[in-house]
Amino acid sequence: MTYAKLEIGDKILVRRDGTVKGSLGEFDLERSIVVRAQELMAYGRCEFVPIDGGGEIFLEAYNTPPQLILMGGGHISKALSGLAENLGFSIFVIDDRSEFANKERFPSVTATIVGPYDQALSQIPVSTNSFIVVATRGHQYDDLATEAAVRSKAGYVGLLGSKRKSLLIFEKLFANGISEERIKEISAPIGLNIGGRTPEEIAMSIMAEILMWRFGGDGKPMKMDQRLFKKAKDKATGMLAGR
């Protein structure tokens, strides 16, 4: 199917309630785009949607600034806050120790909260546009923080630590009545595998995964595959042979 009425640069505005300003001139296409736009806007995510006959429609979601909630104020969270600030996130830091959750340690964050992780999280207006990173100082605190995170409306929950620790926490979540679907949504261990070891490198891998999730990427290198490389080489070889 081709869309004769659709032209390059056509735009519509889709509101949260599904009402539309403007028109694409194609009813069925517009209806499917409105549905997908409503799904994406809750998360502030953008997406290219291919259409029949060639071409793409770009869905760009406008939402409140993304919110990063750091449960634990250690070295990795400190490195993460610096990255997130430059990327436009509203940042909250939670720790049950005042020396790890204060404005001196995190001068640019929206707020620092000192207290038990579950109680502290309830003080933050969590939404589907919230990204929670659990990085506390020990397993027992990770248990508490992770359960509080998955019981919230956060669109993304990530857990720092080993696969073994993650599985133990998953077992406890199952035992406490958290649904299988929600547990499967947890990113654990958190981050893309870039081989980093220092707090700054680990923070980079975590933020890369958060951005991948937010923008709908796949985390793969964008380097051209060997087929395209060979095509360029063969073309150049043919040109040289014809001289």
User: Cα dist. 108→28, 84, 112, 127, 164 in Å?
Assistant: 46, 10, 10, 21, 34
Superfamily of domain 67-215: NAD(P)-binding Rossmann-like Domain (3.40.50.720)
Find how far residue 201's CA is from the centre of its chain: 18
State the DSSP string of 120-132: HHTTS---TTEEE
Residues 144-198 pLDDT 10s = 999 999 999 999 999 999 999 999 999 999 999 999 999 999 999 999 999 999 9
How far is 72 from 145, CA to CA, in rounded Å?
9
CATH 3.40.50.720 residue ranges for the chain:
67-215
Q: How confident is the model at residue 235 (pLDDT cuts 50, 70, 90)?
A: confident
> How many CA atoms lie less than 13 Å away from 206 in the CB half-sphere?
33
- pTM (predicted TM-score): 0.76
149 φ/ψ angles, rounded to the nearest 5 degrees: -65, -45
Closest among 18, 10, 9, 56 to 37, alpha carbons compared: 18
